């Protein structure tokens, strides 16, 4: 069983992928590389990664869109955006997506290792039970039960709202009959009482 953290590096510059591979493999990581966003997304259909690094400026799908798609499919996977073209706009877009970091080239071995460790630590904090499917299933069951209860209460209240005029009408119709019955019963009892006393 492979217990090495899995890292995916997406960059159209093969030298960058090799740099990550050299630094992180020596530290006990399993590193895969992709030269485009399309290749990376295709790879992620069959593999899970603990951390994803993506260049921002690439042919085809850019790094921000790659990060967005990864976050939609695997929101628990840390994504670190790397670039030589850092702008405030790109950093703002990346922050909105919830990326784990935003670092500029050139990258040193210390930066590569440090940002990887930071992203892995963040993943552990965000998803302490990512592999324990029972927890999300239980949470989902509770949410579903709560929703059904709320819908049930709402339906009951709506039903009572629409039924209330008919209930009132039934009381109006029944009240004189009940009153007449009570009046007749009291009169009969009074008559019986008077008849006995004679």
Q: Work out the pLDDT band at 198, boundaries 50, 70, 90.
A: low
Average pLDDT over residues 185-195: 77
Element (H, E) at 13: none
d(CA 191, CA 130): 83
Digit-coded pLDDT (tens) for 104-129? 888 899 999 999 999 888 776 655 44
Q: Work out the pLDDT band at 141, boundaries 50, 70, 90.
A: very low
CATH value at residue 118: 3.40.50.2300
Question: DSSP of 101-168, one letter per residue?
Answer: EEEESSPPHHHHHHHHHHHHHHHHHH-TTTT-THHHHHHHHHHHHHHHHHHHHHHHHHHHHHHHHHHH
The distance from CA 39 to its chain's CA centroid, rounded to whole angstroms, is 26
Owning domain of residue 34: 6-131
Same domain, 18 and 82: yes
The CB density around residue 147, as the number of other CB atoms within 10 Å, is 10
State yes or no: pLDDT of 57 exceeds 70: yes
Report which of residues 191 and 158 the model is more confident about. 191
Domain boundary among 131, 163, 185: 131
Report the length, in residues, of the chain: 198
Nearest in space to 42 (alpha carbons), one of 62, 7, 70: 70
Domain boundary among 113, 131, 149: 131
Tokens of 157: 């209240």
Same domain, 30 and 125: yes
Q: Work out the pLDDT band at 62, boundaries 50, 70, 90.
A: confident
pLDDT of 126 reads: 57
- Going by C-beta distance under 8 Å and a sequence separation of 6 or more, which residues neighbour residue 127? 76
The pLDDT mean for the chain works out to 76
pLDDT of 144 reads: 46
**Would 1 be classed as within a structural domain?**
no
Same domain, 196 and 117: no
Question: DSSP of 29-87, one letter per residue?
Answer: -EEEEESSHHHHHHHTTT---SEEEEESS-SSS-HHHHHHHHHHH-TTS-EEEEESS--
Same domain, 186 and 156: yes
Report which of residues 51 and 139 the model is more confident about. 51
The distance from CA 6 to its chain's CA centroid, rounded to whole angstroms, is 23
Domain boundary among 131, 162, 185: 131
State yes or no: pLDDT of 2 exceeds 60: no
Digit-coded pLDDT (tens) for 29-44? 999 999 999 999 999 9
State yes or no: pLDDT of 63 exceeds 80: yes
pLDDT of 20 reads: 94
The CB density around residue 15, as the number of other CB atoms within 10 Å, is 7
Same domain, 100 and 187: no
């Amino acid at each position: 069983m492979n217990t090495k953290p899995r890292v995916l590096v997406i960059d159209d510059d093969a030298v960058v992928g090799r740099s990550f591979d050299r630094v992180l493999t020596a530290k006990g990581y399993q590193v895969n590389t992709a030269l485009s966003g399309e290749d990376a997304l295709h790879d992620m259909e069959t593999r899970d990664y603990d951390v994803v690094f993506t260049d921002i400026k690439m042919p085809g799908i850019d790094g921000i869109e790659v990060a967005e798609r990864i976050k939609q499919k695997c929101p628990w996977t840390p994504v670190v955006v790397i670039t030589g073209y850092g702008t405030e706009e790109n950093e703002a877009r990346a922050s909105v997506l919830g990326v784990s970091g935003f670092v500029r080239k050139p990258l040193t071995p210390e930066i590569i290792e440090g940002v990887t460790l930071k992203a892995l630590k963040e993943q552990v904090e965000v998803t302490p039970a990512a592999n324990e499917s029972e927890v999300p299933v239980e949470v989902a069951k509770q949410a579903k039960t709560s929703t059904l209860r709320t819908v049930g209460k709402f339906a009951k209240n709506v039903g009572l709202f629409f039924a209330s005029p008919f209930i009132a009408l039934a009381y109006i119709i029944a009240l004189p009959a009940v009153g007449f019955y009570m009046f007749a019963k009291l009169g009969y009892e009074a008559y019986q009482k008077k008849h006995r006393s004679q």
